[in-house]
């Protein structure tokens, strides 16, 4: 390893004011869901154009609750992407439904919406698109499919805070929109998330479902009409999220500037000649990414030792990297349900070749240059 400091692929930036705010919450004696959660929901509602917001302990529970709100039940099908975190499909399985994976667009790495429409059956109840690395799908096309087939849409926007479609912020429109504030997201509260929705009745039900389904009345009345879970957000976490929201306007352009530097260096180092594929550089139709991740697709089948060898070499250079994500349909639990190699060729190739490079607001330009140089020399050495 070089003497330079290790560069992780992601690093949260928590300022002194946020740390102090957490201390104030701890000193207050009210550390579970309370006034800070209410304040966070109000701030997020304003961010999303006045829509209703329900905060959760994580962005996985938001999707499961959204599926329940949408009436997805055992025997139903939900169409989703195979290039996503395990939680997306796990939420579908948790409500007893079947995830139906369709292939991705090899350029955007998001769902191929033509394949989505072809996969709709009489058992389909919802569409669950994933906005990989913060890049939305074609929202007009997505919702046109949903309208034609009378389907609910649960948007896995876990990575897409402050991303846009035709200048509209993701979450400011649509059906049920799920965000994550996990540690590596553009804004974080360590662990947390929120669900954005419109219906008063669905909002009230989401609030019940996040805390065991309990309904209170008066000083001592309590009832449970349907069982819920334990996924309410604490005021400690909400205080962190409020501090992060104060930084969002600076975070998004900073990430975009670092991504642009990667593109410039990729051209200078001849990544295309090495077979390294880049993400879309600018808007894709009306979609504008928030640059949650900067991901390249390696020519892994031509690299001695494959992607793992590249990751190990980068680590020896003091550089962290990540895999987001292997093709989900090839995990054992989905193979048991009939999925196998060869069904989704674009997802399978990208799933074994995609590599996440460091990108976070406090990353320095010199760090990006160091990453680009190390990836270049590594691929030159390992290419067969």
Structure tokens that stand for 46 in this block:
């304003």
Q: How far is CA 378 from CA 123, 173, 271, 276, 310, in A?
A: 48, 43, 12, 12, 6
User: Residue 288 forms beta bridges with which residues?
Assistant: 164
Q: Are strands 52-56 and 193-197 parallel, antiparallel or unpaired?
A: antiparallel
- Cis, bond preceding 325 (omega within 30 deg of 0): yes
Distance between CA atoms of 157 and 176, rounded to whole angstroms? 10
For residue 218, is it left (φ>0), alpha (ψ between -120 and 50) or beta? left
Structure tokens that stand for 1 in this block:
């390893």
User: Residue 277 forms beta bridges with which residues?
Assistant: 297
Instruction: Please give the full DSSP string across 90-153, using - where no structure is assigned.
Output: HHHHHTT-EEEE--B-TTT-SB-HHHHHHH--TTEEEEE-B-GGG----HHHHHHHHHHHT-EE
Q: How far is CA 33 from CA 25, 122, 207, 223, 229, in A?
A: 11, 41, 12, 19, 15
Spatial neighbors of 223 by CB under 8 A, at least 6 apart, are 214, 215, 217
Distance between CA atoms of 196 and 157, rounded to whole angstroms? 10
For residue 175, is it left (φ>0), alpha (ψ between -120 and 50) or beta? alpha
User: Per the residue annotation, which of 36, 168, 185, 230 is the catalytic one?
Assistant: 185
Q: Are strands 98-101 and 77-80 parallel, antiparallel or unpaired?
A: parallel
Length of the chain measured in residues: 384
Q: Is 230 in the active site?
A: no
Distance between CA atoms of 296 and 292, rounded to whole angstroms? 13
* Alpha-helical segments (H) within 29-98: 35-47, 59-69, 86-94
Name the residues annotated as catalytic. Answer: 185
């Amino acid at each position: 390893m070089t003497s330079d400091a290790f560069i992780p692929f992601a690093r949260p930036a928590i300022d002194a004011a946020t740390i102090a705010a957490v201390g104030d919450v701890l000193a207050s004696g009210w550390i579970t869901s309370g006034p800070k959660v209410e304040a966070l929901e109000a701030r997020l509602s304003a961010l999303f154009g006045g829509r209703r917001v329900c905060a959760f302990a994580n962005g996985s529970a938001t999707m499961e609750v959204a599926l329940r709100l949408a009436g997805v039940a055992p025997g139903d099908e939900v169409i989703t992407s195979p290039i996503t975190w395990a939680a997306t499909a796990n939420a579908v399985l948790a409500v007893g439904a079947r995830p139906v994976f369709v292939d991705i667009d090899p350029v955007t790495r998001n769902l191929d919406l033509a394949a989505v429409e072809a996969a709709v059956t009489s058992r389909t109840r919802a569409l669950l698109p994933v906005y990989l690395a913060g890049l939305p799908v074609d929202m007009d096309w997505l919702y046109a499919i949903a309208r034609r087939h009378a389907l609910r849409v649960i948007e896995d926007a876990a990575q897409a805070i402050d991303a846009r479609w035709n200048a509209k912020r993701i979450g400011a429109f649509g059906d049920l929109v799920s965000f994550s504030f996990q540690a590596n997201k553009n804004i974080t509260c360590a662990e947390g998330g929120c669900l954005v929705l419109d219906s008063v009745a669905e909002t009230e039900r989401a609030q019940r479902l996040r805390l065991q389904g309990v309904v209170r009345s008066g000083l001592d009345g309590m009832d449970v009409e349907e069982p819920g879970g334990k996924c309410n957000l604490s005021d400690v976490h909400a205080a962190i999220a409020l501090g992060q929201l104060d930084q969002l306007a600076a975070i998004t352009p900073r990430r975009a500037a670092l991504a642009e530097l990667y593109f410039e260096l990729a051209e200078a180092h001849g990544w295309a000649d090495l077979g390294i594929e880049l993400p879309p550089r600018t808007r894709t139709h009306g979609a504008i990414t928030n640059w949650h991740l900067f991901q390249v697709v390696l020519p892994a089948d031509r690299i001695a030792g494959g992607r793992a060898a590249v990751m190990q070499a980068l680590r020896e250079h003091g550089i962290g990297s990540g895999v987001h994500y292997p093709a989900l349909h090839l995990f054992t639990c989905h193979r048991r349900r009939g999925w196998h190699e060869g069904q989704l060729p674009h997802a399978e190739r990208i799933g074994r070749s995609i590599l996440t490079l460091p990108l976070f607001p406090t990353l320095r330009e010199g760090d990006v240059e160091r990453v680009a140089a190390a990836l270049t020399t590594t691929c030159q050495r390992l290419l067969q």
